[in-house]
Structure 1
Amino acid sequence: MSILQEHVSVKPITTFGVAASARYYAPFANLDELKALLDHQGDAPLMVLGGGSNVLFTRDFEGLVLHNGITGIETIAEDTEYVYVRAGGGENWHGFVLHCVANGFAGVENLSLIPGSVGASPMQNIGAYGVEIKDVFHELEAFHIRERRLDTFTLEDCRFGYRESVFKNVYKGQYVITSVTYRLRKTPRFHTEYGAIREELARMGVQELSIGAISQAVINIRSSKLPDWREVGNAGSFFKNPQVPMEHYATLKAAHPSIVAFPQDAGMKLAAGWLIEQCGWKGFRRGDAGCYPKQALVLVNYGGATGGEIFALSSEIIASVEEKFGVTLEREVNVV
């Protein structure tokens, strides 16, 4: 049974690596342990961490941090077209992707090397290179913290949007995701049209396309332009790519012909990294807080930056993009 610890540093369990502590902390490995720990919560604020890859602590957390350690991957059903794979919310996401690739389960290969846990994947509908969680999602189980019950959420229930779900708005802070079931294809449908995947596959000399080849191409691309959080603290993409109406995009395109954008619903999704770079932030460093030289979308901690310093830098970036382009960036990272 997991035991509550007091005044625990969150630095080792988060990828930004800033100095902050939790008043109380405990990991849990199953639903019974989670229930028992919640019984000791009292009136203390609660935070549940998975991989710790999408959070920035700007202060100590005067509450209870629970660390999701529910693991396990199993195939629970299949039909002629799909295989249904359930994974514990505390499973490492990239490890889960590699499991699927190794077993020929197609659909998540484009999401290779994204940091974080399985439980976080539907929370913000993670996506990369033309694929989002909603494309492979079947259902999830989540424990309602206040009412102490286990609920099942379908694809429709989650109301997925661009880096959004009900767990980031309507039900924020109300549930702990304990498991996620994915519907994966037995026969792949390859997605190579986004980013530099085709170029990387050619560089790799791939003659016959496979989910393994695509996974490795994505790993190569991400490794080349994104810092390893174990060496340079970061949380991946710090900002969302903003969406604008076609009218606004047309105005921006006329003023900035090289602007990078992609069709999205009835408008256009702008590349936030491009906007930030045009404002001169790429490679910027103040003390140990900076904007990564290879990808402007990533804010980094070079070792001793505080969460407050990184947050302040993000605010300056938001203000400059707003002033230059009339576009308001939103933080993708959760700020505490």
Structure 2
Amino acid sequence: MKIQENISLKSYNTFQIDKKARFFTEVQSIQEVQKALRMAENRKIPVFILGGGSNILLTKDIYAMVIKMNITGITVQKENQNNIWVKVGAGEIWHDFVQYAINQNWAGIENLSLIPGTVGASPMQNIGAYGVEIKEVFDHLEAVNRETLEVEIFNHDQCNFGYRESIFKNTVRDKYVITHVTYRLSKHPSPNITYGAIKTTLQEMGISEVGITIDDISKAIISIRQSKLPDPKLIGNAGSFFKNPVVSLEHFEKLKALHPTIPGYPQSKEVKVPAAWLIEQAGWKGRTFGSIGVHKNQPLVLVNYGDGDGEAIKALSEKIQTDVEKKFNILLHPEVNFI
């Protein structure tokens, strides 16, 4: 395990923001995580855990021990007639794991194809897309307690999952390092193609709903995402910058009276409203400001076209929040973490 000093993090975050880490190390085992935490404690400096860097916006240099999670491995823990429990290292690339599961015909995460980031982040923010969330296949995870250095296990209920939320984003934030996640996947695929443009895309690809496979679904979703979202290797971004807001039914009905075309997805006594629609209606889609801007195809995505600054992107996001709140009385909440 090597400790580096004053290392640029530009290649370690998908926004491609050029900020530095005071100390930087990569870990490949629980023992190396514990060793890095001890070293940070001995030097009296804070710790920052880095996965795929796809859900962060760097606004300044990080005076910390940045620990890059590279713990890999995919192993079957147990199985029965219907399900298989798979333990995955937190450093595995999420999309690679999805493709691995599809190749084994293990179902449940095919709708989450092409989501950027690593496995360790999946329960942290309860990643979701196209009608599926991680909480539906999550079994348990292992995490190192930063204070005691002991390995602890969190089951489904203990994670307290919510919309893009878990206990690791609030009450125990910065207190644990997730090292492994175990998922319960299905041996008997039950395709979920009701959300968004999945059905239409399958038809365009010439794939019949009869005998549809999880690989078909994955390919359709990859096609949809690639048509709407910029490749972070080409244009710096962190995917969806804001969460889709959820408002009361009463609030939505008032908005509907003022804006008849506003889309909404009922959830019990509340309605989820697409943040992308709100941002576009507020006039932000496709706007550029020097090296940063709002993507021309997907207003939910803020982008860095070159040498953009994290503080400038943060300021842009705040202006968007202000305009959307003024027009719709809805406050957008960032999905991206400001560092």
CA separation in 2, counterparts of 1:316 and 1:184? 42
Q: Structure 1 residues 186-195 or 314-323, which shifts more?
A: 186-195
SS in 2 for 1:121: helix
Q: Which residue is equivalent to 1:69?
A: 70
SS in 1 for 2:67: strand
Q: Which residue is equivalent to 1:297?
A: 300
Gaps in structure 2 of 5+ consecutive residues: none
Which residue identity does 2:142 align to in structure 1? E
Deviation at 1:179, TM superposition (A): 0.4
Q: Which residue is equivalent to 2:338?
A: 335
TM normalised by structure 2 equals: 0.98
Q: 1:272 aligns with which of 260, 267, 275?
A: 275
CA separation in 1, counterparts of 2:265 and 2:56? 27
SS in 1 for 2:313: helix
Q: 1:227 aligns with which of 227, 230, 237?
A: 230
Deviation at 1:95, TM superposition (A): 0.1
Deviation at 1:322, TM superposition (A): 0.5
Which residue identity does 2:20 align to in structure 1? S
How many residues are aligned here?
A: 335
Taking the TM superposition and a 5 Å limit, the aligned residue runs for 1:111-150 are 111-150=112-151
Deviation at 1:265, TM superposition (A): 3.9
CA separation in 2, counterparts of 1:227 and 1:125? 22
Q: Is the 8 A contact 2:8 2:21 kept in 1?
A: yes
Q: Which residue is equivalent to 1:285?
A: 288
Q: Which residue is equivalent to 2:216?
A: 213
CA separation in 2, counterparts of 1:74 and 1:126? 21
Q: Which residue is equivalent to 1:168?
A: 169
Deviation at 1:233, TM superposition (A): 0.3
Taking the TM superposition and a 5 Å limit, the aligned residue runs for 1:235-274 are 235-274=238-277
CA separation in 2, counterparts of 1:189 and 1:160? 23
* Deviations 1:291-313, CA, capped at 9 Å, x for gaps: 00110000000011100111010
Deviation at 1:266, TM superposition (A): 2.5
Q: Which residue is equivalent to 1:48?
A: 49
> Is 1:8 aligned with 2:7?
yes
Q: Which residue is equivalent to 2:156?
A: 155
Percent identity at matched positions?
Answer: 49
CA separation in 1, counterparts of 2:251 and 2:102? 41
> Is 1:190 aligned with 2:198?
no
CA separation in 2, counterparts of 1:169 and 1:306? 27
SS in 1 for 2:40: coil
CA separation in 2, counterparts of 1:239 and 1:25? 29
Taking the TM superposition and a 5 Å limit, the aligned residue runs for 1:4-43 are 4-42=3-41, 43=44
Q: Which residue is equivalent to 2:111?
A: 110
> Which aligned segments of 4 or more residues in structure 1 are displaced greater than 2 angstroms?
none
SS in 2 for 1:254: helix
Q: Which residue is equivalent to 1:87?
A: 88
CA separation in 1, counterparts of 2:268 and 2:310? 35
Which residue identity does 2:198 align to in structure 1? I
Q: Is the 8 A contact 2:49 2:67 kept in 1?
A: yes
SS in 2 for 1:205: coil
SS in 1 for 2:120: helix
CA separation in 2, counterparts of 1:68 and 1:206? 38
Q: Which residue is equivalent to 2:315?
A: 312
* Deviations 1:134-187, CA, capped at 9 Å, x for gaps: 011111101111111111111101010000000000110011110001101111
CA separation in 1, counterparts of 2:35 and 2:150? 13
Gaps in structure 1 of 5+ consecutive residues: none
Which residue identity does 1:34 align to in structure 2? V
